[in-house]
Amino acid sequence: MNDTFKALADGTRRQIIQLLKEKDMTAGEIAEHFNISKPSISHHLNLLKRAEIVIDERKGQFIYYSLNTTVFQDLVGWFLQFKDGTKGGEEK
């Protein structure tokens, strides 16, 4: 989960996630939305893949990136455990 939080800490990576929320995209399509180099976009995508936030799939000569929603479900579950906890030994 540490990789996930580290990946989410960067604004560019959060913007990439927002783009992929709308549709699957290639690295080139993603790069069109930023004023940074394509190698930098690849670096961000690799960190997102390492954190398992993004998955990639080859379709012909292109690699399409998409969100791995399972990771977000795990994160929500992790946060919700605090909501259902006890405070000072008493139930909320």
User: Is 90 within the bounds of a domain?
Assistant: no
Give the position of tokens 């996630």: 17
Identify the bridge partners of residue 58 per DSSP, sorted by sequence position. 63
Range of the domain at 28: 2-82
C-alpha 1/C-alpha 76 separation (Å) is: 12
Residue 88 within a domain: no
The answer to whether position 87 is within a domain reads: no
Q: Quick check: is 26 in a domain?
A: yes
Tokens of 62: 């292109």
Residue position matching structure tokens 């379709």: 59
Domain assignment of residue 89, yes or no: no
CATH code of the domain containing 61 = 1.10.10.10
- Our count of domains for the chain comes to 1
Confidence grade of residue 85 (pLDDT, cut at 50, 70, 90) = low
Contact 2, 74 (CB under 8 A): no
- The number of residues in the chain equals 92
Give pLDDT tens digits for 54-76.
999 999 999 999 999 888 788 88
15 domain-assigned: yes
Residue 88: predicted pLDDT: 44
